[in-house]
Structure 1
Amino acid sequence: MAEYLSPGVYIEEVDAGPRPIAGVSTSTAGMAGVTMRGPYTGKPKLVTNFLEFQNTFGGFLREPDPLIRDTWANDPVEGGRWWLFPLAVKGFFDNGGQRLYIKRVAGRQATPSSGVLGHGVMSPVAGDAAKGATRLELGHLIGFSGVGQQIQIFRGDDQQSIHTAGVAAYDATTHRIELDAPLPAEVRAGRGDYAQIGTRGAERTLEFAAVSPGSWGDAVQVRIQPMAAAALPVLPDPQEGGLFVTRLAADAAADSETVEVEAVTGLDPDELPPDVWVGIGSGRFKAQVSRPADGKVTLTLPSGTAHEEWRSGLLVRRVRRGNTSAGTTLRIGGASRLYEGAVVQLDDGSHLTIRTVETIAADVVTLDGDVPGTLFETDRLHLVEAQVDARFTDPSGTVETETHRNLRLTGDTPSNLVTTLAGRSRLVRATALGALSTDPTKFPLPAVGSWLTLDGGDDAYGSLSVADFVGEDGGSGKRTGIAALEDIDEVAVCAVPGMWSGTVESALVTHCELLKDRFAILDPQDGLDIEGVQAFRERFDTKYAALYHPWLVTRDLSAGRDVEVPPSGHMAGIYARVDVERGVHKAPANAVIRGIRPTDGIAQDVTKRHQDLLNPKGINALRFFPGLGHRVWGARTLSSDSSWKYINVRRLFLYLEESIDEGTQWVVFEPNDEALWSLVRQTVTNFLTTVWRSGALAGTTADEAFFVACDRTTMTEDDLAGGRLICAIGVAPVFPAEFVIFRIQQKTRETQLA
């Protein structure tokens, strides 16, 4: 109750009237089955079209080895043709399905492809170079030491050595190096050529594995290489003083030791140290500043300094030092990008040096060793991290690639390589091994080349069993098989296409009966005759499932041939299509079956006389009608209870029950009195009125279509004391016009008397 403790104006919000109930979706399906690849653990994954299914779970499956195939296909009790699952998924989307949750089923002995990396220093060639060239563009220069270092260049196809030479110069920004000896043969980036320093170590640093089990992972390749995550400027030492920028006042001959520059603010010999560094043209030079009697400013270069001829007007600027004495600290611009333990590479123009960051205080960075030589404000400190590239080539030749940048090899952080791949990669997972180091000279590398090809994946189809389809309930997110569909509340239709195993289909029916918010579509064994399918049907008595006969014929694009497929996938799509176009109250029958062969799209011809035997037993026939195509010609459940013999009636009540359940959660813990009962009655009445107006309920008035009672006639004092609110609801569903009967009689002409 609101409190009014002091004078004033109070604004209050009050609830007015009943709360609306939103109808739940009935067209979302869930399926469990064997796929080429895709997530095996965790909750089922949503796919909204067949292309998305292919990208996530792979394409069509090949038939397994004859022994495995025949073991499953020839077992009338616990068999199935599980390799047809992708074709059933395609049938779902061909027939109008829009949302499908997939739970991958795999044998318990299935293993993922994997591979282990050693270590070394390698950089891929980034640009082609002709025979005789001395300039080479690489992917990076991390782990290199600079001028004078020996490198080997290898071919990427056969791993043969092309050249061994020293580094005469380099540009860390463009990743170009100058060799001290010309190339004896061409170098090609497209071939995978690479430069290597020294030999590769065999100590194990990282293990990569495909993200899910199966032989598909043998087509996965992984490459890991160092990258410069940031190029941070070295800041000048505060003792260096100010900056000046001037120009040459006169031409300077080549190799001359003195140059005259224009006098500018900051260029005062009395305020500058004896020696300063200046940038003239593309070079950096040490100079002494003096002002002769004529007032001009003269820069004196060290004796023996070599340079080209300089013209008057050439820009001259001071280059301040970042470190004026030996030490382990540097001022770095953007130091906040760094972190304790970060590996950095210092570049002084001729040498590249690796250091590790120990501490960071504002812009002052302390390293684990002395700063080599003298660094200037034009130099850069590169933050070294890792980049992982992964690619997968599917049987059709389509390549899926992914790149993960700015990864740390070690440390317990979100950007850690192992953690990042576990959360983002759809292809691989990584495990750190004992020899893993942050030292770029011992970076993880395969034994040869730059790409690691995973191998050893096994689908283990021989170990696949019906228990894998049934699954285990390990709790939310840890369920497998059919049991995992419980994790998705939105699922309204479920199936295990291609499986006629009694254990599997009984588990699917039990799953629906326990949750009471979904409906199962079952498949009979393929090739059954009328007597056979009747015998198959005898094992079921449930109002939560339907059975369709016979199988369908569609095109397997991967194999280039027509194959028989189970009807459950196509039927789930038809359920979704009818629900969207007409509503859940419309029987999913007399609908055209899409995605099958235009002629002879049904594996066996079912005539009217055949259906006279099937329909009374709740077996829904799929038939061909000249001029009308292939159609679903049945709408019955597998229940012996005549009240629930129609699919649309059962699914309508599932829809009503789930919608009312979710739409009245606000009632829990409200005061259980007449005011609440009135709100509940009005809330449910409004919802059922909308349902009746949509044509889902029988009756010319709302009173004929339903009733809602929630008062003292539905509850006793014991109910109230026990905290129970009981609302009685009666609904008159619309039954399908299964038998359309026109009675025609002959009318004789009567004589009219005048």
Structure 2
Amino acid sequence: MPVQVSYPGVYIQEEPSGVRTITGVSTSVALFIGMAGRGPMDTAVSLLSYADYERTYGSDTTVSETTDQVRQFFLNGGSQAYIIRIASGEQPAAADFQNEDGAVVLRITAAEAGRIGDSIRVEVNYATAQPESSFNLVVSRETITSSGATLLVDTETIGNLSMNSAEPRFVETAVAQGSRLIRAEVQPTAPAPFEGYSMSGRAESAPGILAALNAELGGAAGSMQVSVDNGPFAPVTVTGPLAALSDLQDAINTASSAVGGGTVTVQAEPVPGGTEEVLLIRSNAAGGRVRVQAGASNDLAGPMNLGTSNDGLEVDGHAARRPAPTGVFGSLGSLDSTSGTWLDRLSGFLRADPGDLPDLTLATGSRSDTATITGFTRPTFWETTPAAGTSLRNARGALELLAAQVALAGPHYVPAVQGYRLVLNPTYPGFAEQETLTPSTTGTYDIGNAGSGYLGRDPNVRRAPLGAFASPSNYVVGVAAGADGNLPTPADYSAAYVIASREIDIFNLLMLPRVLNDGSGNGQTDAQRAQLWGPASAFCLTERAFLIIDPPDAWTTAQSATSGPTGIANVRIGVVGDHAMVVWPRLRIPDPLGGPLRTIDPAGSVAGVAARIDGSRGVWKAPAGLEASVIGVRGVERRIADAENGLLNPQAINVVRQFPNGIVIWGSRTLAGFDNSGENDYKYVPVRRFALFLEESLYRGLQFAVFEPNDEPLWAQIRLTAGAFMNNLFRRGAFQGQKASDAYFVKCDAETTTQNDINLGIVNVIVGFAPLKPAEFVVVTIRQLAGQVQT
């Protein structure tokens, strides 16, 4: 801004130079659109190596040539590519998961469409810091080794999940952010949330909870920290003696409201079947929760067994909406405190005299493999009449003892105590992960039959499969098998072009690898492929990109390629010819699995060679000639002789030839560059690609001029900026001419931009350049020197 002078002296003022730098855009970013054996559908994925491709899309080569062409692109010098996987009628594998009571609560779907999703296995466990509120998902992909053994790969654990959408670890968002294999969706059939609560693990003979609380206070002030309905922990202080439990309720509500938390109801909850009661702090909100931690001084949480770490029971209002744990499990029933079921079964569990438990034998549904667990003995601390101060620790201790006895019985099962559940996971050989176990047990403490005893539940599968193997099961219901989809239609390709325009900043080379075998066993025909080139070239026209067309299968000779109903003239129909090139013949490459040589289209290899030459010589150098050797190939489908090349080149069919020094690309004409076509400006591939490079670079580099005052200062800036960019290219040898004035010009002044243009908000810039055209024909003239006559 101008300096404001106010006193005699020297003032310093900085002026912008007006110089802006135009950076040349990339010229060899590839885009492949086609089918693949796995990977994300209908989205553009950026890759920097073939290893990236394998991690995302696998290495299957039977579905389409996408894998082979991407490999060839990177092998021949490509450095960046985008992949858009498409298909018609594709479907991801999915399964519905039920809670312990048999309600469908969660649908888990493979993140990738296709049959690959049928290999996904999901484990559910409650081994978390809050086992009656959250859960974990352990997800793997199952493969079969060459010896026939089952192997789990790509295993990932998504932990501490909640069925409450207000929680930071809500299952839908946490899975979407943390898993590459699956997606999760809570189902409308999930039960309604109840009021969450924190229950003391300490039971007292009624009415004894208030007396026990006052005894711990001892007439002084006691404290604890309480979080209600996801609010922050608030310090709660009470001074004894308390006249009623409502005094504690009022103190909690006052402290919680001050920090933005919810409110609670505090009561003494009777234990069914006995004379005891427990302290219950229940949220007043459906789906709420209550958490209790130790206080800063004279802690009440520890002595009253409040909080999970103090052997209390804390249940989220969404706990019953969780999917059932996988494996053979037993639990005490509904955790809704208002139903009384859980306390009733807990009371019976603690009071019963089980004696010696029967043997537990489980077999798979379709195999003869069995495993027997023996040696259960009566826990010595179970009491038929619990004394005052009995803790829920007794119940957890009983489960731990059962788990220890299972472990002593042999290696057939791995036991775990998850909250107030005993879970057995089968490990014996021959067990199919997706099969349901069939228990053959009886007794008060049966953990293998629903409705039998205090722990009775139907067994779940060891690992739940998605898709084709998901049914039948007690807690997993099959929804849909994964389907790779059928041949992409022209509409699928058009949709991919929209995705590319929206998600990709810039790409330069477009390839459409052919489909070999879709989900119905069909491959693309020449007629189906011919429908793709016109829309693809039009898309390249709008995106300033270039299309590499693969040859039809019908091209078996030079004559069939240059004439007849399947010849080059048919390929040109409807195609933007100066934005495309066609290359023939197809290439022979090694099979990665050691099989015989396979034949693939050349587009991916040509794109890789173009990328390599762009980096070493510049986009103005034709991707052809002895320098344009194709790496990673063992031959061509048909060797081309000079005479045949003489038929093909005038028709703008670029050939790949096998010479003694290697296999090279031996042609660089656009599809419109055939002889007598009338196309002289963009007859050659490097000229067209160089022009696209200039257009895109100038388009991006001159954005600064938008909305600037349209007068000579702006025009001078444009001339300076564009001129500096063009001069740099001239110094690198991109143009014809011995001096800059012969090679290019930039004109932006009152002649190019009239007053009417200025009134319309238009500034006109004319950039001219003299392109380098390839020396397609080198003519050598040899003259014999006759003896000179001396005169």
Q: Is the 8 A contact 1:592 1:629 kept in 2?
A: no
Q: Check 1:527–1:94 CA distance in 2 against 1; reply closer, same or farther (3 A cut).
A: farther
Q: 1-side partners of 2:143 and 2:507: how far apart? A: 30
Give the corresponding residue for 1:21.
22
Q: Check 1:605–1:469 CA distance in 2 against 1; reply closer, same or farther (3 A cut).
A: farther
- CA RMSD between the two structures: 2.6
Q: 1-side partners of 2:702 and 2:751: how far apart? A: 20
How far is the alpha carbon of 1:701 from its aligned partner? 0.6
How far is the alpha carbon of 1:595 from its aligned partner? 4.3
Q: 2-side partners of 1:667 and 1:401: how far apart? A: 52
Q: 2-side partners of 1:576 and 1:691: how far apart? A: 18
Q: 1-side partners of 2:461 and 2:12: how far apart? A: 73
Q: State the one-letter code of the partner of 2:551.
A: P
Q: Is the 8 A contact 1:111 1:213 kept in 2?
A: yes
1:385 counterpart = 2:127? no
Q: Check 1:688–1:597 CA distance in 2 against 1; reply closer, same or farther (3 A cut).
A: closer
Give the corresponding residue for 2:606.
571
Q: 1-side partners of 2:663 and 2:699: how far apart? A: 38
Give the corresponding residue for 2:117.
217
Which of 422, 425, 435 is matched with 2:190 structurally?
435
The DSSP-based 3-state class of the residue aligned with 1:209 is: strand
How far is the alpha carbon of 1:387 from its aligned partner? 2.4
The structure richer in helix per residue is 2
Give the corresponding residue for 2:538.
510
How far is the alpha carbon of 1:451 from its aligned partner? 1.8
Q: Is the 8 A contact 2:114 2:485 kept in 1?
A: no
Q: 2-side partners of 1:573 and 1:13: how far apart? A: 48
Q: 1-side partners of 2:35 and 2:465: how far apart? A: 25
Aligned pairs (5 A) from 1:299-448: 344=130, 384-393=133-142, 399-433=153-187, 434-435=189-190, 438-439=318-319, 443-446=323-326, 448=460
How far is the alpha carbon of 1:462 from its aligned partner? 6.7
Which of 488, 492, 495 is matched with 2:508 structurally?
492
1:536 counterpart = 2:536? no
1:618 counterpart = 2:652? yes
Q: 2-side partners of 1:741 and 1:210: how far apart? A: 62
Deviates more, 1:538-547 or 1:1-10: 1-10
How far is the alpha carbon of 1:657 from its aligned partner? 0.8
The DSSP-based 3-state class of the residue aligned with 2:140 is: strand
Q: 1-side partners of 2:484 and 2:321: how far apart? A: 43
Q: Check 1:417–1:461 CA distance in 2 against 1; reply closer, same or farther (3 A cut).
A: closer
Q: State the one-letter code of the partner of 1:625.
A: F
1:739 counterpart = 2:619? no
Give the corresponding residue for 1:718.
756
**CA-to-aligned-CA distance 1:609-668 (integer Å, 9 cap, x gap):** 111111111110000011x11000000001131221110000101101110110110111
Aligned pairs (5 A) from 1:505-654: 505-515=533-543, 517-526=544-553, 528=555, 529-534=557-562, 535-538=566-569, 539-540=571-572, 542-558=577-593, 560-590=595-625, 591-598=627-634, 601-626=635-660, 628-639=661-672, 640=677, 641-654=679-692
Which of 694, 706, 709 is matched with 1:671 structurally?
709
How far is the alpha carbon of 1:720 from its aligned partner? 1.2
Q: Check 1:594–1:664 CA distance in 2 against 1; reply closer, same or farther (3 A cut).
A: same
Q: How many residues align?
A: 490
How far is the alpha carbon of 1:490 from its aligned partner? 1.6
Which of 430, 447, 467 is matched with 1:455 structurally?
467
Q: 2-side partners of 1:605 and 1:491: how far apart? A: 32
Q: Structure 1 length as normaliser, TM-score?
A: 0.61
Q: State the one-letter code of the partner of 1:116.
A: D
Q: 1-side partners of 2:714 and 2:493: how far apart? A: 43
1:103 counterpart = 2:84? yes
How far is the alpha carbon of 1:54 from its aligned partner? 1.1
Q: Check 1:205–1:558 CA distance in 2 against 1; reply closer, same or farther (3 A cut).
A: farther
The DSSP-based 3-state class of the residue aligned with 1:429 is: strand
Q: State the one-letter code of the partner of 2:513.
A: P
- Structure 1 unaligned spans of 5+: 64-82, 121-200, 230-343, 346-353, 355-383, 473-479
Q: State the one-letter code of the partner of 2:687.
A: V
Q: Check 1:398–1:636 CA distance in 2 against 1; reply closer, same or farther (3 A cut).
A: farther
Q: 1-side partners of 2:6 and 2:41: how far apart? A: 62
Q: Is the 8 A contact 2:42 2:86 kept in 1?
A: no
Q: 2-side partners of 1:23 and 1:520: how far apart? A: 21
Q: Is the 8 A contact 1:469 1:482 kept in 2?
A: no
Give the corresponding residue for 1:228.
128
Q: Is the 8 A contact 1:593 1:631 kept in 2?
A: yes
**CA-to-aligned-CA distance 1:242-299 (integer Å, 9 cap, x gap):** xxxxxxxxxxxxxxxxxxxxxxxxxxxxxxxxxxxxxxxxxxxxxxxxxxxxxxxxxx
Q: Check 1:521–1:486 CA distance in 2 against 1; reply closer, same or farther (3 A cut).
A: farther
Q: Check 1:11–1:28 CA distance in 2 against 1; reply closer, same or farther (3 A cut).
A: farther
Q: 2-side partners of 1:19 and 1:97: how far apart? A: 30
Q: Is the 8 A contact 1:32 1:469 kept in 2?
A: no
How far is the alpha carbon of 1:525 from its aligned partner? 1.4
Q: 2-side partners of 1:751 and 1:616: how far apart? A: 46
Q: Check 1:10–1:504 CA distance in 2 against 1; reply closer, same or farther (3 A cut).
A: farther
Q: Is the 8 A contact 2:94 2:467 kept in 1?
A: yes
Deviates more, 1:480-489 or 1:607-616: 480-489
Give the corresponding residue for 2:454.
none
The DSSP-based 3-state class of the residue aligned with 2:590 is: strand
The DSSP-based 3-state class of the residue aligned with 1:644 is: coil
Q: Check 1:442–1:32 CA distance in 2 against 1; reply closer, same or farther (3 A cut).
A: closer
The DSSP-based 3-state class of the residue aligned with 2:46 is: strand
Q: Is the 8 A contact 1:495 1:508 kept in 2?
A: no
**CA-to-aligned-CA distance 1:125-145 (integer Å, 9 cap, x gap):** xxxxxxxxxxxxxxxxxxxxx
Give the corresponding residue for 2:747.
709
Give the corresponding residue for 2:493.
470
The DSSP-based 3-state class of the residue aligned with 1:642 is: coil
Q: Is the 8 A contact 1:34 1:104 kept in 2?
A: yes
The DSSP-based 3-state class of the residue aligned with 1:604 is: coil
Q: State the one-letter code of the partner of 1:56.
A: T
The DSSP-based 3-state class of the residue aligned with 2:65 is: helix
Q: State the one-letter code of the partner of 1:520.
A: L
Aligned-pair identity in percent equals 31
- Structure 2 unaligned spans of 5+: 146-150, 194-317, 327-458, 469-479, 515-523
Q: Is the 8 A contact 2:3 2:13 kept in 1?
A: no
Q: 2-side partners of 1:555 and 1:485: how far apart? A: 35
How far is the alpha carbon of 1:206 from its aligned partner? 1.5
Q: Check 1:449–1:666 CA distance in 2 against 1; reply closer, same or farther (3 A cut).
A: same
The DSSP-based 3-state class of the residue aligned with 1:662 is: helix
How far is the alpha carbon of 1:435 from its aligned partner? 2.9
Q: 2-side partners of 1:608 and 1:734: how far apart? A: 25
The DSSP-based 3-state class of the residue aligned with 2:126 is: strand
The DSSP-based 3-state class of the residue aligned with 1:561 is: coil
Q: Check 1:696–1:413 CA distance in 2 against 1; reply closer, same or farther (3 A cut).
A: farther
Q: State the one-letter code of the partner of 1:669.
A: F
Q: Is the 8 A contact 2:497 2:539 kept in 1?
A: no
How far is the alpha carbon of 1:89 from its aligned partner? 1.0
Q: 1-side partners of 2:71 and 2:481: how far apart? A: 25
Q: Check 1:6–1:430 CA distance in 2 against 1; reply closer, same or farther (3 A cut).
A: farther
The DSSP-based 3-state class of the residue aligned with 2:657 is: strand
How far is the alpha carbon of 1:390 from its aligned partner? 1.5
Give the corresponding residue for 1:51.
51
How far is the alpha carbon of 1:407 from its aligned partner? 2.5
1:115 counterpart = 2:131? no
Aligned pairs (5 A) from 1:143-182: none
How far is the alpha carbon of 1:597 from its aligned partner? 3.8
